[in-house]
Amino acid sequence: MSGGAAPGGGRPFASQRRAFLLAGVLMVAVASAQAVREGAWKDPATAEAERLPLVARSLLLAGTQSAQRAVVVGERGHVLLSESRTDWRQARLVPTRSTLTAVTAVGDKLWAVGHDQVIIHSSDGGETWSLQHASPWTPEKADDPRASAPLLSVLFLDENRGFAVGAYGLLMRTEDGGRNWERVDLVRERSEDEAVPAPESEDGEEASGGVEDWLFSEEDLELGEEEDPHLNAIVRTGDGSLFIAAERGAAFRSTDGGENWERISLPYEGSMFGAIGYQGRHVLVYGLRGHVFESLDLGDTWRPLETGTELSIMGGAPLADGGAVLVGANGLILTRSAGEAGFRKSVHPDGVILSAVLPIQGTRQFVTLGENGISTYVVR
């Protein structure tokens, strides 16, 4: 044989492989088309999550504490539960295979959000879930990026009132526990007399950027809808105020339960991936290149906190007395024992990207979540 010819003078092996691959693709396409015609095919956004043996080692992105147990969520609709924080099991029924990015709890009632604008709800501490909302991408939605934008954070004020935020300035709210969700439109015209004062830094100087109305004007949107900043996290402070951390140096705050908002500028023009709300109007934000900022007045003034790193910080959780634990790229772990203390830096032995952290009450241990799933870390 020569020239790569197949035995018996047939076609070259490469051509055979291409033919086999093409045949396989056609078979899959035919089977998919038949499944659609017969009603057997279901969009992953609304397909039941698979139960897998190594789910605790999959990509997990967020966690919370319900009344009875810890609940974590991640890729492919994975939801894991644990009373002990050491033994984890998969939830019995989750009605989506979309990636879940955030979860929150009010007692034993939980809500999780994610890609395809999925919102799911559990009323039994996370054992079983129902689908409340989904909006997978379709060609008809191409002109409106928020129509199927992923949701990135969720917060409930009580069992009825909740908010979910996501990409392209997407903000949704519910007044009935998630049975109905409405999208809050961030676009309106601003009049010339709507100017508001710029925030001050700690030394009394006017901070750069200033405070803008939270709603975007038509001029703001001149470059198109995709220029809306992604809303990465929403939290509540002790006095009931709401705070949203966003990208490109933007943040948003509300002092009336989300009825009215205003947009403020952070001291750093990069993205903030998360926020922590404390007592009063104390809020801490963290994000790109190790940046952390703290405000005691809901963003009127800010002070930078030294982290000793330029690694991005992806997740965080509050500790007592204004303390915090933050996690991020390359296994980064930052701990702050109290509000006036500095951050102590350590590294998770796996050295992987960590996306979220859950303190284990009464111990120096933390449950960390990330690209290698769940692990436990002890702060020495």
pLDDT in tens, 167-215: 999 999 999 999 999 998 754 433 344 443 444 444 444 443 333 444 4
Q: Structure tokens of 17? A: 């492989």
For residues 11 and 8, give the distance between their C-alpha atoms in angstroms, rounded to a whole number: 9
Band (41; pLDDT cuts 50, 70, 90): low
Q: Which residue has the tokens 């709890």?
A: 105
In the three-class reduction of DSSP (H, G, I as helix; E, B as strand; rest coil), residue 263 is classed as: strand
In this prediction the pTM is 0.81
Mean pLDDT of 357-374: 93
Nearest Cα to Cα of residue 180 among 164, 196, 199: 164
Q: Write down the pLDDT at residue 186.
A: 58
Q: Write down the pLDDT at residue 228.
A: 84
Q: How many percent of the chain have pLDDT more than 70? A: 78
For residues 200 and 208, give the distance between their C-alpha atoms in angstroms, rounded to a whole number: 9
Of residues 10 and 294, the one with the higher pLDDT is: 294
- Phi and psi of 222, rounded to 5°? -60, -30
In the three-class reduction of DSSP (H, G, I as helix; E, B as strand; rest coil), residue 296 is classed as: coil
In the three-class reduction of DSSP (H, G, I as helix; E, B as strand; rest coil), residue 259 is classed as: coil
Q: Structure tokens of 66? A: 């319900």
Q: Write down the pLDDT at residue 145.
A: 86
pLDDT score of 25 more than 70: no
E-state strands within 175-320: 182-183, 212-213, 231-236, 242-246, 250-254, 262-265, 272-277, 283-287, 292-295, 303-304, 313-318
Those residues with Cβ within 8 angstroms of residue 327's Cβ, 6 or more apart along the chain or in another chain: 313, 314, 315, 316, 333, 334, 348, 354, 355, 356, 357, 368, 370
Q: Write down the pLDDT at residue 32.
A: 43
Q: How many percent of the chain have pLDDT more than 90? A: 71
pLDDT score of 129 more than 70: yes
CA 64 vs CA 70, 105, 208, 211, 326: distances in Å: 6, 7, 35, 32, 15
Mean pLDDT of 216-221: 44
Q: What integer best gives the mean pLDDT of the chain?
A: 84
pLDDT score of 18 more than 50: no
pLDDT score of 321 more than 80: yes
Q: Which CATH class is domain 46-314?
A: mainly beta
Reduced to 3 DSSP states, what percent helix, strand and coil does the chain have, rounded to the nearest 5?
15, 35, 45
- φ/ψ bin of 362: left (φ > 0), alpha (ψ from -120 to 50), beta (otherwise): left
Q: Write down the pLDDT at residue 340.
A: 82
